[in-house]
Structure 1
Amino acid sequence: MYELSNDHVSIVISSKGAELQSIYRKDTGIEYLWSGNPAFWGKKSPVLFPIVGGLKNNRYTFKGKEYAMGRHGFARDRVFTMSKQTDDAITFSLKSDDETKAIYPFDFIFSINYQLIAHQVKVSYQIENIGDEELYCSVGAHPAFAVPLLADTSFEDYYLQFEQKETAPIWPLSDEGLLLSTPTDFFLQEDTIALRKSLFYGDALVFKSLQSNSISILSDKHPHGIKVSYANFPFMGIWSTKDADFVCIEPWCGIADAVTTNGDLTTKEGIHPIAPKTMMNRSWAIEVF
């Protein structure tokens, strides 16, 4: 485990998956990340790479060859190398090897940087194509925030506040976690979602067309909360497992396969081509108050 701290906030990161394990505010003593109780969901903030969501039959094809890969890719289960640390930032890296190339035939270096800026945690992803052919990937975040934040409040005392009023549907998922062909009406010039456990009984709320660049978790019972800011993440998932005390706000640069997919990685929705010897960068941030 690695710890990073400033005058306001301390965070803990595991080398496995370069996954955040704690976001703690010093002046209030509030822990903002989910506990990781394995009775509900044993992760806290996994990174999603080189795909987001599930593949149809857990398979994809590239240049006529079929490969198998599980939901959200493999990075969250790999051990990263801590490659750089300063007073306010730390970087972890994962490089392709024979094991990754057996299921994902590309040469890459995937780096995750965590930086503390006052009460904010900035998370940056860099995918570098070190190979000689175009690389195809998606990347996404999956942080689980503790709801309720305070012991004398309940899950239903909280709501999600969107930056803008939204008119946007959600895309239902099949039992296999694939996107169905027809969206369902959800937002109609609204900017809040009242939290209730049953909201997630049908899996995640998946959005493709939000205008907001931030979503906050708030309560009218106290002034504390979380703001997740993101840009250049075209998809959003909001999720909790059944009856658990957390909510995930998930900025995605990728999305699950549709039930109608042909399985070709190069035409997969949300996939990003990266030219040889170039890189893709994305960042998002968590502010705690």
Structure 2
Amino acid sequence: MNTILKNGVAMAEIKKAGAEIVSFKRLEDGTEYMWNGDETFWPSHAPVLFPIVCAVVNGEIRVDGKTYQIGNHGFAKWSEFELVEESDTKAVFKLTYNEETLTKYPFKFDLFITYTLVENKLEVKYKVDNIDDKDIYFQIGTHPGFNCPLDKDTQFEDYYLEFEKEETLERFFMDKTNVVISGKSDTLIKDSKILPLTHELFYEGALVFKNINSSKVTLKSKKSAKNVVLSYENLPTMGIWQPKNAPFVCIEPWYGLADTDDYTGEFKDRDRMIHLKRDESFECLHVIEMN
């Protein structure tokens, strides 16, 4: 059974598989802000990416000279979480390492995801504890898909992303295996807060940004008052993605990045890795605000 969080303004629904939000809805008019998971385009809603973001070359990581097979975005999105705390407006989910995870990722961890509903905002907080007897390394990221258009009287090309600060966004490209193509990039915007959205923008895959100055980005349209504000902390990189011509867009703050297509090194030496010593913790969060 899915977990329901509800107040007088909004309702959120989260499933145990992946501790994934499947719905975030405004009660006043029934507007749904999250993608519905239609398999025609993409069967997910907002998976957590752990212990890697995107992909590794040949689906392999190397730890102390030993090779492990791990899939795109890691395994947390497929894992059954334990619901360890629940109230009308808060739910805490936990994933602990097990024999299966150790065959893919040889580190012991606890991953907590806490959902808190406050008026029209849903806070999603992530906490990783190192419970191993050695240092651990990982990446973590978010992947929420937002309906776009949000209003029946608008279309996708009416929407744009508005960043909190002026940005010069250099886009990096990924190949079909979801690793970064070495030496290929393009500047999408320069000294601007606005990134206009078109379907064609995503025909070569996700937009990957290594450096984002803003801690907030808004999906909005000049033709509708409805918008989504996504704010985030301790998630310094970002992906923006849409399957071809889909009626939604994913805004994905990450702490992490895919391998480059020529990477052959150890897991701990990959770009944008989090390093935790024994008994240390890492925290990050993002907040979805519906308007």
TM-score, normalising length from structure 2? 0.97
Partner of 1:173: 174
Distance in 2, matches of 1:128 and 1:230, equals 20
The letter for the 2-side match of 1:170 is R
Partner of 2:254: 252
The letter for the 1-side match of 2:218 is S
Distance in 1, matches of 2:99 and 2:123, equals 31
**Which has the larger strand fraction?**
2
Determine helix, strand or coil for the equivalent of 2:170: coil
Distance in 1, matches of 2:265 and 2:26, equals 44
Q: Is the Cα–Cα contact under 8 Å of residues 148 and 245 in structure 1 kept in the other structure?
A: yes
Q: Which moved more, 1:173-182 or 1:249-258?
A: 173-182
Partner of 1:242: 244
Give CA deviations for 1:167-219 in whole Å, capped at 9, x if unaligned: 12111112322112232222211111211111111101000111111111111
Partner of 2:194: 192
Partner of 2:17: 16
Distance in 2, matches of 1:191 and 1:278, equals 36
Q: Is the Cα–Cα contact under 8 Å of residues 114 and 123 in structure 1 kept in the other structure?
A: yes
The letter for the 2-side match of 1:49 is F
Partner of 1:135: 136
1:136-155 equivalences under 5 Å are 136-155=137-156
Distance in 1, matches of 2:222 and 2:15, equals 33
- 1:117 lines up with 2:118 in the alignment: yes
- What's the offset of the Cα at 1:93? 0.5
TM-score, normalising length from structure 1? 0.98
Give CA deviations for 1:46-94 in whole Å, capped at 9, x if unaligned: 0000000100000010011000000100000011010111232100001
- 1:160 lines up with 2:161 in the alignment: yes
The letter for the 1-side match of 2:28 is D
Q: Which moved more, 1:87-96 or 1:65-74?
A: 87-96
**Percent pairwise identity:** 36
Determine helix, strand or coil for the equivalent of 1:215: strand
Q: Is the Cα–Cα contact under 8 Å of residues 115 and 122 in structure 1 kept in the other structure?
A: yes
Q: Is the Cα–Cα contact under 8 Å of residues 189 and 195 in structure 2 kept in the other structure?
A: no
Distance in 1, matches of 2:176 and 2:17, equals 29
Partner of 2:235: 233
RMSD: 1.0
Distance in 2, matches of 1:222 and 1:165, equals 23
Distance in 2, matches of 1:188 and 1:47, equals 30
- 1:28 lines up with 2:15 in the alignment: no
Distance in 2, matches of 1:97 and 1:244, equals 36
Determine helix, strand or coil for the equivalent of 2:149: coil
Unaligned runs of 5+ in 1: none
Equivalent residue pairs, number: 289
